[in-house]
């Protein structure tokens, strides 16, 4: 391909966003077509890049954007296995979700704005993917945050949506401050911002960062903690479900939240083994906490959101086990099946006039067969049932855990059990059992423009394990590894039988438990049995309450105190002004206009002067 075509991958969606914003606000159909067209074209061009890469001809393009003193900043396109894979995920899953949105958002008064913002998001996300340096990545990192803010707050008339958008943006910025400081620190030591340059220097001199090595790694990890919603900054993601469902699918499940994981893989060379230990545990804690919370949520999108958190925890944990290929593999398969589950949920919500509470649903199987079957495929893939895609990617992570850290391995298996449990809780309550409200009676299958994407994603979720993703990505991280065969259905059982078999057992137990409690249940039986535990889970371990208190203590109270301080300062200024005025008024009394008084004062003055001179 010619060089301009590579730039088009990135800039076509931006172009679409600009054209829609400036000219097509009143033409919803045109704007949808343009937005979908742009992302599809990007996808096709990405396939071209993949072909080039496999031929070993992928170009590295870089322009100098800024030069101040010793700071040189590039703007470039970097293509390797990692970015090629991510490009395909973002544009591929993105295309499917764009098409689905055409149906889902139909009739919304701000249809054009929706597609403009989706295109802006695609542009920003692709910018992160092709970055060849920290600075460019940070720029697009922020742009992604901005487009996520806009899309979460798409229905800004709802106070909850506006608040959620603000919360997401602020939480992300909090992580980004750490990220930015980490970048500056890394630049200060190495004198370069480019990934390749930094990697070369570290290869030549592994002790380059000296004592700051761990700190640099952790600060950079802060960025991923914010963007990929890891503990303790995970609180924004569930609230972000206030956005339209396709947004949740694309941004808050398949791509943007995975950007943190992608970044960790991209700069994997920078982390020390201390960093990796922290990363693994943060991932593990996130996975467990959110899986537990998911067990007691009632909003269909929130359950999926907590499930996303938990799966992101898996990916981050994999990076912590020095297994970026496993992380990227799970990122890809997760993009397929989580996008599928969200779009399936969207189809249900659409059919039930925007109802999201699972206890208002039931027996949708007969009403929406296509949604039912595809949702089942997504659920099984997420649980990791062999031979669906999730099984392979999750086993890769659990196998790495088995090698590195037995405690985290046990935690991972526990999460696998919880995942099956909450997903089948959701599945039984929504699709089987009795209808729990009148809404179900009016439900009907969604239009084809929404169901075809479901079918497509279901197919990807089923066969995702056989696409050769690990085989494609592994050489980048361990060039010496043996070439793996592409089609190896039994591979998990051969390489790490313990992990694979225990994983299957966890799924079986989770399924049985969910069946016992929730098959045919009218309401949730768990709160009756374990009141306290459920209460804590329903309140999400009280994180929101805790943070609200923290913000009050660290921000609102100081802000008010400092404001008082400022008022004090202003009073002080008035005091000087008052003193001057008062002195003036007093001195005015001296000026009487009476000649005798002046003479008297003059004489008194002269007497004083004489007195001082003579007594000397």
- How many residues belong to the site for another protein (CB under 8 A)? 43
Give the residue, chosen from 29, 44, 51, 156, that forms a contact with another protein under the rule CB under 8 A.
Answer: 156
Binding mask 535-574 for another protein (x = CB under 8 A): --------------------xx-xxx-xx--x--xx--x-
Beta carbon of residue 605, minimum distance to another protein (angstroms, whole number): 29
Q: Which of 332, 352, 383 minimizes the C-alpha distance to 245?
A: 352
Evaluate the omega torsion of the peptide bond into residue 232 and state whether it is cis, within 30 degrees of 0: yes
Q: Which of 187, 227, 236 minimizes the C-alpha distance to 208?
A: 187
Beta carbon of residue 165, minimum distance to another protein (angstroms, whole number): 9
229 vs 310: CA distance, rounded Å: 10
Beta carbon of residue 179, minimum distance to another protein (angstroms, whole number): 10
294 vs 300: CA distance, rounded Å: 10
Give the residue, chosen from 170, 215, 455, 513, that forms a contact with another protein under the rule CB under 8 A.
Answer: 170
57 vs 60: CA distance, rounded Å: 10
| Cβ contacts of 418 within 8 Å, gap of 6 or more | 288, 291, 292, 294, 295, 310, 510
Beta carbon of residue 209, minimum distance to another protein (angstroms, whole number): 15
Beta carbon of residue 530, minimum distance to another protein (angstroms, whole number): 38
Q: By CB under 8 A, tell whether 138 contacts another protein.
A: yes
328, 330, 332, 336: CA torsion to nearest 10: -170
Beta carbon of residue 180, minimum distance to another protein (angstroms, whole number): 7
Q: With both helix axes pointing from N to C terminus, report the angle between 300-320 and 324-351 in degrees, rounded to the nearest 10.
A: 180
Q: Which of 255, 464, 447 minimizes the C-alpha distance to 339?
A: 255
Binding piece for another protein, criterion CB under 8 A, among 94-102, 141-149, 246-254, 597-605: 141-149
18 vs 38: CA distance, rounded Å: 12
Give the residue, chosen from 139, 225, 259, 312, that forms a contact with another protein under the rule CB under 8 A.
Answer: 139
295 vs 529: CA distance, rounded Å: 14
Beta carbon of residue 554, minimum distance to another protein (angstroms, whole number): 10
Identify which of residues 187 and 314 has a Cβ nearer to another protein in the complex.
Answer: 187
Q: By CB under 8 A, tell whether 185 contacts another protein.
A: yes
Beta carbon of residue 543, minimum distance to another protein (angstroms, whole number): 19
Residues 342 to 371 in contact with another protein, rule: CB under 8 A: none
Binding mask 29-68 for another protein (x = CB under 8 A): ------------------------------------xxxx
Binding piece for another protein, criterion CB under 8 A, among 156-164, 224-232, 540-548, 595-603: 156-164
Identify which of residues 243 and 346 has a Cβ nearer to another protein in the complex.
Answer: 243
Q: Which of 277, 340, 276 minimizes the C-alpha distance to 307?
A: 340
The dihedral sign for the CA sequence 340, 342, 346, 348: positive
Q: With both helix axes pointing from N to C terminus, report the angle between 389-404 and 369-383 in degrees, rounded to the nearest 10.
A: 20
Binding mask 65-104 for another protein (x = CB under 8 A): xxxxxxx---------------------------------
Identify which of residues 3 and 566 has a Cβ nearer to another protein in the complex.
Answer: 566
In the chain, the largest separation of any two C-alpha atoms, in whole Å, equals 119
CA-to-CA dists, residue 592 to 319, 347, 580, 600, 603, angstroms: 88, 91, 20, 12, 16
Q: By CB under 8 A, tell whether 17 contacts another protein.
A: no
Beta carbon of residue 163, minimum distance to another protein (angstroms, whole number): 8
Binding region for another protein (CB under 8 A): 65-71, 138-140, 142-143, 146, 153, 156-159, 162, 166, 169-170, 173-174, 177, 180-181, 184-185, 187-188, 555-556, 558-560, 562-563, 566, 569-570, 573, 577
């Amino acid at each position: 391909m010619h060089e301009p075509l590579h730039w088009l991958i990135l800039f076509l969606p931006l172009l679409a966003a600009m054209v829609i914003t400036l000219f097509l606000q009143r033409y919803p159909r045109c704007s949808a077509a343009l937005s979908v067209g742009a992302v599809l074209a990007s996808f096709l061009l990405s396939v071209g890049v993949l072909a080039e890469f496999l031929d070993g001809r992928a170009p590295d393009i870089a322009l100098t954007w800024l030069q101040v003193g010793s700071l040189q900043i590039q703007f470039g396109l970097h293509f390797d296995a990692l970015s090629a894979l991510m490009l395909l995920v973002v544009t591929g899953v993105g295309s499917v979700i764009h098409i689905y949105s055409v149906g889902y958002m139909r009739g919304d008064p701000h249809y054009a704005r929706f597609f403009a913002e989706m295109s802006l998001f695609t542009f920003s996300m692709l910018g992160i993917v092709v970055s060849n340096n920290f600075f460019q990545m940070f720029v697009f990192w922020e742009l992604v945050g901005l487009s996520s803010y806009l899309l979460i707050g798409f229905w800004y008339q709802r106070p909850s949506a506006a608040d959620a958008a603000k919360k997401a943006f602020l939480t992300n910025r909090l992580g980004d401050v750490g990220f930015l400081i980490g970048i500056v620190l890394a630049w200060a030591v190495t004198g370069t911002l480019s990934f390749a340059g930094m990697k070369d220097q570290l290869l030549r001199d592994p002790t380059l960062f000296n004592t700051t090595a761990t700190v640099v790694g952790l600060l950079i990890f802060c960025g991923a903690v914010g963007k990929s919603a890891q503990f303790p900054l995970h609180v924004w993601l569930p609230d972000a479900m206030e956005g339209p469902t396709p947004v949740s699918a694309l941004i808050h499940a398949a791509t943007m939240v995975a950007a943190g994981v992608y970044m960790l893989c991209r700069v994997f060379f920078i982390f020390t083994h201390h960093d990796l230990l922290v990363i693994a545990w943060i991932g593990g804690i996130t996975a467990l906490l959110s899986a537990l919370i998911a067990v007691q949520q009632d909003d269909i999108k929130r359950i999926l959101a907590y499930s996303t958190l938990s799966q992101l925890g898996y990916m981050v944990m994999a990076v912590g086990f020095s297994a970026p290929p496993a992380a990227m593999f799970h990122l890809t398969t997760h993009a397929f099946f989580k996008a599928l589950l969200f779009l399936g949920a969207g189809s249900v919500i659409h059919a039930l006039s925007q109802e999201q509470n699972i206890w208002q649903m039931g027996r949708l199987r007969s009403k929406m067969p296509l949604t039912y079957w595809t949702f089942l495929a997504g659920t099984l893939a997420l649980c990791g049932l062999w031979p669906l895609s999730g099984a392979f990617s999750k086993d890769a992570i659990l196998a790495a855990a088995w090698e590195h850290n037995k405690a985290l391995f046990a935690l991972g298996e526990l999460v696998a059990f919880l995942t099956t449990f909450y997903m089948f809780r959701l599945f039984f309550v929504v699709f089987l059992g009795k209808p729990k409200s009148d809404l179900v009676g009016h439900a009907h299958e969604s239009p084809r423009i929404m169901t075809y994407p479901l079918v497509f994603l279901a197919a990807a979720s089923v066969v995702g394990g056989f696409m050769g993703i690990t085989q494609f990505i592994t050489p980048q991280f361990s060039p010496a590894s043996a070439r793996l065969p592409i089609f190896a259905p039994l591979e998990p059982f051969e390489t790490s039988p313990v992990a694979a078999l225990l994983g299957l057992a966890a799924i079986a137990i989770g399924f049985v438990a969910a069946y016992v409690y929730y098959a045919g249940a009218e309401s949730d039986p768990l709160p009756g049995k374990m009141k306290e535990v459920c209460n804590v889970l329903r309140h999400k371990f009280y994180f929101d309450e805790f943070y609200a208190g923290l913000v009050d203590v660290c921000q609102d109270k100081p802000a008010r105190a400092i404001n008082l301080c400022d008022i004090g300062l202003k009073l002080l200024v008035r005091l000087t002004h008052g003193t001057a005025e008062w002195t003036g008024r007093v001195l005015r009394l001296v000026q009487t206009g009476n000649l005798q008084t002046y003479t008297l004062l003059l004489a008194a003055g002269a007497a004083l002067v004489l007195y001082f001179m003579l007594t000397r």
